[in-house]
Structure 1
């Protein structure tokens, strides 16, 4: 696999893909070695071959900083001086997103809105988030500082729709504070409500603040691996904790013609739970979803409601001591743990000595960086 030729990296304008000059095979090998070193309790024979990614056109989501000046914007990242660096030809973005960025820049320039100046703490336009579905449909989110920018974008909706005819969701997020975050709490929908990520027979519905893996092809492989493990274990019941819009739960429900498996997804976001319920209904999948904190839900469960298998897909901090202790003492026989942080995974596994890793696999969601996803199948000893 040949590496993409990145003019931004070579010019020193962007170092986000810190490993882009490292041959891809070496990147994969180093990620596998990192996981083996970080997780020494996993037997060598348990490691499956890593799941590869394309080395370009793999990101389904772009989080673009708006920089420059009114009428002449940049879309990319912030430089060390707090000024915008234009990356509209970044090769890791999907081709659909990459072709859209120049048109978005022209639209924003026509609004006359001032990009937010981080050092001076003034301006209106902060970020544009773009997500592309497998079918080419788009979700656009504009993060702005004030009602003035919201009103201007609302008035320009017709023009924007002509510029981006395949946008099915357009929203504006209000972030008035000077914070190092990507969005605020308030979201105003201008068009549509959700983006359908069609993965085989299952459509996952993403609302503007929903989480989804940034690499669609590798996400498919991750869900398929979890489903294969679940089918092998064949539990009568399972919980998907931190379920988001239901990716694992929906893919791990009963196969057609098989005995019905009792599947429950638990997610803090009520909007994500509504999306998961919609996906289950559309696909004819018998799965339930509840809006609750994963740890509190598990700790509050009665002993007779504990499932045979639990799937966890936590944020980078991991599941934490309380949930790890509950899993250790619960009587749950099998656990699938999907992690974006091998270090927190190792800490959580150390707190669950009754489990051993039966199989493990690296999923290269983020080529050219040190980031990765690793999933393990745990069986009680």
Structure 2
């Protein structure tokens, strides 16, 4: 333990950097101090909460001199809620920080040299951009709590309003809270695995205005359903009210069994000219405005002329596949989640797209098998989960030797690892474009164009 910096003592610290998780970084007697809600240039009084051998953690007690990059958070619970880590940082500075985050990952983790990371593509209006919200429901001191988990905990921060969710969520939460309290409906206790109502999920069509309300229950039915539906009539745009039955003792939010209480089991939204059916269990990007920006960039990098065969690995519900199919000769998509492929086929039919074909399975198994059968692609698009691409898939990409690989990533660290592998096996990184899909948070999407090197 560091003897010169003591727990519970207060020190004056200047913040000199921001870490990968959005926390401010300063130094005290050469000891690195991590301070949430702090930005580069802040001069602060910091209370030390934990001291380790080479670092310590603290919290802001007082802002002595605010940084020019600092702004006042517009959400009343921003310091308690774990949803927005960067709301106290100006938006311009957020975009620059995300650009640097990608650059640092590619150079330090991927070992890439002479790399240029383009400025992050941001949003003109960052308010109310999310089309999906999942709220844990708990009971504390006899009151129903609906909100988000506090940072690094399972304690629910009761929520009245949020600057990044659809504004109608506020109305839905009030109705649900009042319904549960009025009818004395039991609330789930995750330690005892008792009680009925676990979560509230709200999905909205950003461009269509349609809304789905989904209650997740530890049971088979909801008491006083008619009263619940009657209360929800006050909310404009609700086209789907469903129950998700989740009786498992798990931290997975949704159960696989969905019961329609009213309307359809899906809502519809658009990205560009394409329509998408979005069910309770569908994966769909949470920021449709920036999704179009990201997909347009992927399409631009693919440079399709109408003669190409394209693989879309980790295709999900087929959203990128269908974008590519508008310009390609043939698109093949693969995804391990069977319901997602059902959605992909339904979305292809909804949009009259006939040149997209989808397979259920692991990308690292399906694509190599199809390659052995003689299916070779001119361009491959990969959009893997946070863990990045499986090594077997990367090996197949090298064997197939497509002219272009377009890599869409939600995690700079695993992106850097995979790019390092591809660059070491015959590819060159041509363009790196961060896209801000999640304003006010530390997350960033990146679209990368790789070109096969000619010997």
With structure 2 as the length reference, what TM-score do the two structures score? Answer: 0.75
Contact 1:295 1:322 in 2 (8 A): yes
Further displaced range: 81-90 or 58-67: 81-90
CA distance in 1, matches of 2:281, 2:407: 24
SS at match of 2:241: strand
Quick check: 1:295 aligned with 2:368?
Answer: no
Any stretches of 5+ residues in structure 2 without a counterpart? Answer: 1-68
CA distance in 1, matches of 2:388, 2:442: 18
SS at match of 1:329: helix
Contact 2:276 2:350 in 1 (8 A): no
1:264 is matched with 332
Any stretches of 5+ residues in structure 1 without a counterpart? Answer: none
1:94 is matched with 166
Aligned-pair RMSD on alpha carbons? 2.5
Provide, for residues 17-67 of structure 1, a one-character-per-residue CA deviation record: whole Å limited to 9, x for no partner.
12211111111111111111111227444x333111333211111111112
Q: CA deviation at 1:344?
A: 0.9
2:106 is matched with 39
Quick check: 1:13 aligned with 2:86?
Answer: no
Inter-CA distance 140–158: structure 2 relative to 1 (3 Å threshold): closer
Q: 2:318 aligns with which of 241, 246, 250?
A: 246
Contact 2:341 2:359 in 1 (8 A): yes
Q: CA deviation at 1:119?
A: 4.6
Q: 2:242 aligns with which of 171, 174, 188?
A: 171
Q: CA deviation at 1:209?
A: 0.7
Quick check: 1:321 aligned with 2:414?
Answer: no
CA distance in 2, matches of 1:81, 1:301: 44
Q: CA deviation at 1:160?
A: 5.1
Mapping of residues 131-170 of structure 1, within 5 Å: 131-133=203-205, 134-147=207-220, 150-152=221-223, 154=225, 156=227, 158-159=229-230, 161-164=232-235, 166-170=237-241
User: Number of aligned pairs?
Assistant: 372
CA distance in 1, matches of 2:138, 2:214: 16
CA distance in 1, matches of 2:249, 2:312: 36
Between structure 1 and structure 2, the one with the greater Rg is: 2
SS at match of 1:348: helix
CA distance in 2, matches of 1:291, 1:97: 34
Contact 1:91 1:98 in 2 (8 A): no
With structure 1 as the length reference, what TM-score do the two structures score? Answer: 0.89
1:341 is matched with 411
Contact 2:377 2:400 in 1 (8 A): no
Quick check: 1:283 aligned with 2:351?
Answer: yes
Inter-CA distance 158–27: structure 2 relative to 1 (3 Å threshold): closer
Quick check: 1:48 aligned with 2:118?
Answer: yes
SS at match of 1:301: helix
2:26 is matched with none
Inter-CA distance 42–28: structure 2 relative to 1 (3 Å threshold): farther
